Structure 1
């Protein structure tokens, strides 16, 4: 993986920590998996 992809993942994970306050963790994980698949 390229460094910029790693940075994008870190940013997404930080956003998901905020998102998880409003949504169930399963939905956040599903978003994370779809994001990873796109890479």
Structure 2
């Protein structure tokens, strides 16, 4: 599979939390940098 994008992100929304994930890295590597944050809603 050919890699075409250096940076991508995703967001997963639940009733009590939000999870955000970013993958970032050069096109010539198989191991991009992963940043993941869990946000908990304050009720």
TM-score by length of 1: 0.20
Comparing both structures, which one devotes a greater share of its residues to strand? 2
TM-score by length of 2: 0.20
